Amino acid sequence: MNDTDVPQAAIADVPSTFGEAVVLLDVREDDEWQRGHAPGARHIPMGEVPARMAEIDPGAQLFVMCHAGGRSQRVAQYLVRNGFAPINVSGGMLAWAGAGRPVVTDGGNPGTV
């Protein structure tokens, strides 16, 4: 496995609740996040990840998600090179919502993807 190989997780293999031990990192842009996100996800837009890596617990199980899986893959590769062990969420928020999982806004209302 080279340093940019990132494990992929299908939505069925991604937990549905997150906390200290399991982190879902949403790397989409602010406007995408505001429309809707997974409950309990942490939001750090892709372009801010390098400056905000200290906010990510290296000991947590880390899932990285974007809209469809492309940006999160690139962020996950970057995190691997910086000592993290992320898992990319295949299909991103499209797959999350498609699996019938909840999508919420910051105010707690139903959101959209």
98 part of the active site: no
**The one catalytic residue among 66, 75, 79, 113:** 66
Q: What torsion, rounded to 10 degrees, do the Cα atoms 33, 38, 42, 48 define?
A: -30
CA nearest neighbour of 6 among 52, 54, 66, 51: 66
Catalytic residue positions?
A: 66
